[in-house]
Chain A
Amino acid sequence: MSVTVLITDGPLAPQEVRLPSPAGCGSLLVFEGIVREIEDGRPLMALHYQTYEPMAQTMLATLGREIVARHELIALHAAHSRGHVPVGACSFRLEIHSAHRKAALAAMDEFIDRMKQEVPIWKQAAWA
């Protein structure tokens, strides 16, 4: 199994080249979180993400390993932005490789829910 975690400045770059799937992989699920232009009914210009490092990095990796083990995944790759991310740009990407889709779908939901509850990352709105 393989787990990678990356916290990077600014928006995440589009994934133009996809690496070959690992052996045994029958499902590849990719989720991208995009900064919405409207939040709570107000127009937004950007989100500013603050992270507490290295705790955020460590907790994302620990969470990734737990999710991979629990759902018997083949690989999990997570990337999160820090700093300024404008409307329309990607701030979070989760890529899950598994033998079957059901495991990947369940793992995707659990990882994101737990990240939003546990990992020390905060966002602040920059209103338009």
Chain B
Amino acid sequence: MRVLFAMLVTVLLFGPFATVVGSSECTVELDNDHTCQAILRRLSDDLPALRPLLSGARIAINAKFADPHRDVLESDEVALIGMVSGG
């Protein structure tokens, strides 16, 4: 049986995401769905300024891109990775 509980997740922000939000991290509250795609949905709902930048954005967990269906654990480092611009 799966135990359901709410969870607070801190998400690291970089580049344009950090500029738009004005911070290098933000916190989202997840209800029963603790997946990466739930984090993206919550970010879109809670921070409308991010919406135009979220197309194609992915969640990285512990410095690796994660499957959208992967559950986040409280000990995970979570980062939002959007369009990059190195070089």
Q: Does A15 contact B (CB under 8 A)?
A: no
- Flag if B63 contacts A119 (CB, 8 Å): no
A-B contact count (CB 8 A): 57
B54 CB, min distance to chain A CBs, angstroms: 16
Instruction: Name A92's contact: one of B14, B18, B60, B86 (CB within 8 Å).
Output: B86
CB contact list, A69-115 vs B, under 8 A: 80, 91-92, 112, 115
- Flag if B85 contacts A115 (CB, 8 Å): no
Contact A123:B63 (CB < 8 A) given known A52-B14, A52-B79, A55-B79: no
Contact size range, A = 20 to 34
Please name the residue on chain B nearest to A81 by beta carbon.
B86
CB contact list, B47-87 vs A, under 8 A: 60, 63-64, 79, 81, 84-87
- Flag if B60 contacts A80 (CB, 8 Å): no
CB contact list, B1-22 vs A, under 8 A: 12, 14-16, 18-19
Please name the residue on chain A nearest to B86 by beta carbon.
A121
CA distance A101 to B42 in the complex (A): 49
State the main secondary structure of chain A at its contact with B.
mixed
Please name the residue on chain B nearest to A49 by beta carbon.
B86
Q: Which A residues are within 8 Å of any B CB, using their own CB?
A: 33, 49-56, 58, 80, 91-92, 112, 115-124
- Flag if B86 contacts A55 (CB, 8 Å): no
B76 CB, min distance to chain A CBs, angstroms: 13
Instruction: Name B84's contact: one of A58, A91, A121 (CB within 8 Å).
Output: A121
- Flag if B79 contacts A122 (CB, 8 Å): no
